[in-house]
């Protein structure tokens, strides 16, 4: 006698969509993904409002655009996971879940890497204290983030093809996962070096850079610490959902803090941008041949009557000024001072 059969094993009663089709390590991933998706959509709406205000004041810099890209791709990652796990909870089709999760990993990769790139660029003072990066900095960043993308790419391929669905595994319980943790720590070292170098040459920017550095240092290490605890302390059946929940919460906190830190409000004493986007091209043309990696005391020093307002930190007069004032000549308000001669 020859028989072919399928066994459909469940973990709950009919109608229990949060448990029936899921393994114990996947319980509550669906409601967590939906909750963080809604919260992330609120952040995205607020970021769009802030972007419109920044655009109106010619302060919508490249770094803020990277932030919005990271926020949008993370929201789409959570959307895919909500759809995938929600669909799996109703029909139990694991193959479809794997395909949707793989697509979601791509957007997770784009969001995480772009946000880390943003943090390193901000720590270097890009769009805050300098108009462009040095060639050596550009090469270092290109090499590092190329390796980061490769590590994420290997993980995306590794998970559907090499993970045994019969075992309790999560993404960091694999060689590519360990590689991602190592890349994150290396990213923090770049972040640390850039922060020290910038704060040394621009002490007036401490009001922004110190809280920025402290919070995002915690942000960098939150994921490696949680994964270490997952391996050493947590039971196997609690790891995946715990790591997913904590990591999603950490990313949400990072996006929220950055949004608060860069909100375009006159009451925000930490606001980092003080050079308009229309002036970046003028500054680069007038510093051609100089090395913007060598910091001057203030490369965007105020040369007109507004100079009296620039001392003691970031000038927030743009948020109190009329639209007509914001359209003054690009060459009147800020003239770069090059002390490298």
pLDDT tens-digit readout, 75-120: 999 999 999 888 888 877 778 888 888 899 999 999 999 999 999 9
12, part of any domain: no
CATH code (residue 145): 1.20.1070
CA distance 66 to 237: 36
DSSP letter (8 states) at residue 235: -
Are residue 228 and residue 182 in the same domain, yes or no? yes
pLDDT at residue 149 is higher than 80:
yes
- Going by pLDDT thresholds of 50, 70 and 90, the confidence category of residue 148 is very high
**Percent with pLDDT over 90 in the chain:** 35
Q: Flag the least confident range among 44-48, 224-228, 310-314.
A: 310-314
Are residue 116 and residue 179 in the same domain, yes or no? yes
- Going by pLDDT thresholds of 50, 70 and 90, the confidence category of residue 33 is very high
pTM, to two decimals: 0.77
266, part of any domain: no
Are residue 244 and residue 316 in the same domain, yes or no? no
Are residue 77 and residue 124 in the same domain, yes or no? yes
pLDDT at residue 16 is higher than 70:
no
pLDDT for the residue numbered 190: 94
Token output for 269:
């004493």
Q: What is the mean pLDDT of residues 194-208?
A: 89
Q: What is the mean pLDDT of residues 309-322?
A: 36
Phi and psi torsions of 311, nearest 5°: -75, 150
- Going by pLDDT thresholds of 50, 70 and 90, the confidence category of residue 279 is low
4, part of any domain: no
Q: What is the mean pLDDT of residues 311-329?
A: 37
- Going by pLDDT thresholds of 50, 70 and 90, the confidence category of residue 323 is very low
19, part of any domain: no
Position with higher pLDDT, 338 vs 155? 155
35, part of any domain: yes
Are residue 207 and residue 72 in the same domain, yes or no? yes
pLDDT for the residue numbered 18: 72
Are residue 111 and residue 146 in the same domain, yes or no? yes
Are residue 131 and residue 209 in the same domain, yes or no? yes
- Going by pLDDT thresholds of 50, 70 and 90, the confidence category of residue 59 is confident
CA distance 328 to 125: 25
Are residue 243 and residue 304 in the same domain, yes or no? no
pLDDT at residue 23 is higher than 70:
yes
- Going by pLDDT thresholds of 50, 70 and 90, the confidence category of residue 170 is low
How many domains, in total, are found in the chain? 2
149-158's contacts with Cβ under 8 Å and 24+ in sequence apart are 149/109, 149/113, 151/176, 151/179, 151/180, 151/183, 152/105, 152/109, 152/112, 152/113, 152/176, 152/180, 153/109, 154/179, 155/105, 155/179, 155/180, 156/102, 156/105, 156/106, 156/109
- Going by pLDDT thresholds of 50, 70 and 90, the confidence category of residue 216 is very high
Give the domain range for residue 119.
24-261
283, part of any domain: yes
255, part of any domain: yes
Are residue 38 and residue 124 in the same domain, yes or no? yes
pLDDT for the residue numbered 315: 37
99, part of any domain: yes
């Amino acid at each position: 006698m020859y028989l072919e059969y399928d066994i459909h094993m469940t973990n709950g009663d009919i109608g229990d969509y949060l448990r029936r089709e899921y393994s114990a390590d996947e319980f509550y991933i669906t409601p967590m993904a939906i909750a963080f998706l809604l919260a992330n959509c609120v952040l995205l709406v607020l970021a769009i409002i802030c972007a419109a205000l920044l655009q109106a004041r010619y302060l919508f810099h490249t770094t803020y655009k990277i932030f919005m890209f990271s926020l949008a791709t993370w929201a789409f990652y959570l959307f895919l996971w909500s759809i995938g796990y929600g669909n799996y909870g109703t029909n139990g089709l694991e193959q479809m879940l794997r395909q949707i999760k793989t697509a979601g990993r791509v957007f997770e990769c784009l969001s995480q890497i772009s946000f880390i790139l943003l943090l390193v660029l901000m720590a270097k003072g890009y769009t805050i204290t300098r108009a462009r990066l040095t060639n050596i900095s550009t090469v270092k960043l290109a090499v590092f983030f190329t390796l980061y993308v490769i590590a994420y790419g290997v993980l995306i391929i590794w998970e559907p093809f090499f993970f045994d669905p019969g075992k309790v595994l999560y993404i960091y319980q694999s060689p590519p996962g360990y590689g991602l943790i190592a890349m994150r720590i290396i990213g923090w070292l770049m972040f640390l070096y850039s922060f020290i170098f910038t704060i040394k040459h621009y002490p007036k920017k401490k009001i922004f850079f110190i809280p920025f550095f402290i919070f995002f240092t915690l942000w960098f290490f939150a994921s490696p610490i949680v994964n270490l605890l997952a391996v050493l302390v947590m039971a196997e059946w609690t790891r995946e959902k715990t790591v997913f929940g904590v990591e999603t919460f950490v990313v949400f906190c990072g996006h929220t803090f950055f949004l608060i830190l860069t909100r375009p409000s006159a009451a925000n004493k930490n606001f980092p941008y003080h050079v308009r986007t229309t002036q970046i091209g003028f500054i680069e043309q007038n510093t051609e041949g100089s090395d913007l990696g060598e910091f001057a005391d203030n490369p965007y020093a105020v040369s007109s009557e507004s100079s009296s307002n620039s001392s003691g930190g970031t000038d927030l007069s743009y948020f109190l000024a009329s639209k007509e004032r914001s359209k003054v000549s690009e060459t009147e308000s800020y003239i770069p001072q090059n002390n490298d001669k």
